[in-house]
Copies of this chain bind each other. A is one copy, B any other.
């Protein structure tokens, strides 16, 4: 293969999620693709949130938030809450909020997987902040629980690529992790 140097603002494939917060006592939602697991035990996630985003206010205010994974049937709503800011638009009625233990972590009823998180730390970077949260509770649609697994393929979780701004479905199962690599040793 022939490689070329490209612009360094490279995006990587992103699992689409929705951040849920309360700001001034009202639910607000924001589409988030810059998210990863961050710590094993206790389980934590980390997100890169733009410093000017309204939702950061809610996280600072309450030290609680939710991460919700939508299915493909919520693409329009997920995209909508990514387009408009909670500073100008009331997004509290886009989804139905349910609550577990954390009263400032609105769990989106329409999303098959919900994580209720407590804030651990916010690391400020030039244009974004890394928000680190501990997963306190998790809820999943009964149809997609398989033992200890969430079946993300069946629940139709989806991905975003940028800057082409495309959403992608899960494809096919193409391999087994911690297994296929054993073939390398016998080469």
Give A contacts to B, CB under 8 Å.
Answer: 1-15, 17, 33-48, 50, 67, 69, 72, 75-84, 94, 100, 109, 112-115, 120-121, 123, 125-128, 130, 132, 135-143, 145-146, 148-153, 157-185
Contact = CB atoms under 8 A, between A and B. Distances in A.
Given A12-B15, A40-B128, A181-B78, A170 B159 contact: yes
Contact of A180 (B42, B45, B79): B79
Nearest to A77: B184
A168 B153 contact: yes
Instruction: Report how many copies the assembly holds.
Output: 2
Contacts of A142: 1-4
Given A42-B126, A76-B183, A137-B5, A177 B165 contact: yes
A35 B172 CA distance: 22
Contact of A128 (B38, B77, B115): B38
Contacts of A127: 39-41
Contacts of A115: 8, 10
B148 A1 contact: no
